[in-house]
Amino acid sequence: MRFLSKLPYLTRILVIATVVAVGVVICGTFAMRFSASNPQVQAKNSPTKTTVASQPNSIPAALPTAIIPTNSTPIEVSKITQVQKKPTSNQLAYGHFPYTQANSNQMMLIGSYATGADQRFESLNTEAVQAFMKMTYAAREVGVWIIPVSGFRTIEQQEKLFQEQIKRRGSAKEAAKISAPAGYSEHHTGFALDLTDGKFPKKDITFEFENTDAYRWLTSHAKEFGFELSFPRNNKQGVSFEPWHWRYVGSSDAAAVFANARNQR
């Protein structure tokens, strides 16, 4: 410091400035070397941006689907046809005319037959139901109990019945004397029915039904309600006498269904 004091004022300023400049240079050099040996660390959690190039004509991935179980049951709706099976001609089978099977939705309940496990419910075409009810009520007023044994039958039901008759009688020809082949029964129309006397159940579908009050009343009054015996004795169709089998012809539609058979009476 004494050295500096002996120098002129201007020279002292220059010497001090030179010393300061040299110091700054030396400090800067050390700072640069330190930063080079310790590189700055970047944050690893910095967000990154990814660009996905779209591909032309690519098919997008299908979204996943889930099958959800339910307690509901699918409802199967089947078509109801007016005629299940239709004869192709008017050719007779053992004296029986062919008949198409009516729509079961056109039938209405008329009563039940038998009891317990054998009980079944019988129906007729809606056009015949009212007439049948009036007829049975009129009969009961005089103490006659008319019971329906069988009404509308499907072709499948008739086939089963006819096969049972074949087993009993030995042949289709003999079976046809008491039961029509499937597709040839008046019961398919819904206008025919088998009747019996409620007071004599053991005479159901037997020739002894002819000797009951119900049969005698029917032969005298059934026509008043539009019913007639389908197979009287010595009918031109050649079918066995069936005192229990009656058909409704009280409407134009019903009469037209049995036009061929009625011409054979």
Q: Which of 44, 208, 186, 61 is nearest to 124 (CA)?
A: 186
Angle at 179 between CA 216 and CA 113, to 5 degrees: 60
Sign of CA dihedral 159, 164, 170, 175: negative
Q: What does the chain come to in residues?
A: 265
Q: Any idea where the domains of the chain sit in the sequence?
A: 2-34, 104-262
Lowest mean pLDDT among 37-46, 73-82, 118-127: 73-82
What is the tens place of the pLDDT at every residue in 208-244? 999 999 999 999 999 999 999 999 999 998 899 999 9
What is the tens place of the pLDDT at every residue in 188-199? 999 999 999 999
Query: Regarding the domain delimited by 104-262, which CATH topology (the fold level of the hierarchy) does it fall under?
Result: Muramoyl-pentapeptide Carboxypeptidase; domain 2 (3.30.1380)
Q: What is the mean pLDDT of residues 2-23?
A: 59
Mean pLDDT is highest, among 32-46, 78-92, 124-138, for 124-138
Q: What is the mean pLDDT of residues 6-33?
A: 59
Residue reference for tokens 């310790």: 38
Q: What is the Cα–Cα distance from 218 to 119, expressed in whole angstroms?
A: 24
Q: Which of 191, 190, 212 is nearest to 200 (CA)?
A: 212
What is the tens place of the pLDDT at every residue in 47-95? 444 444 444 444 444 433 333 333 333 323 333 333 345 554 678 999 9
Which pLDDT value is given to residue 81? 34
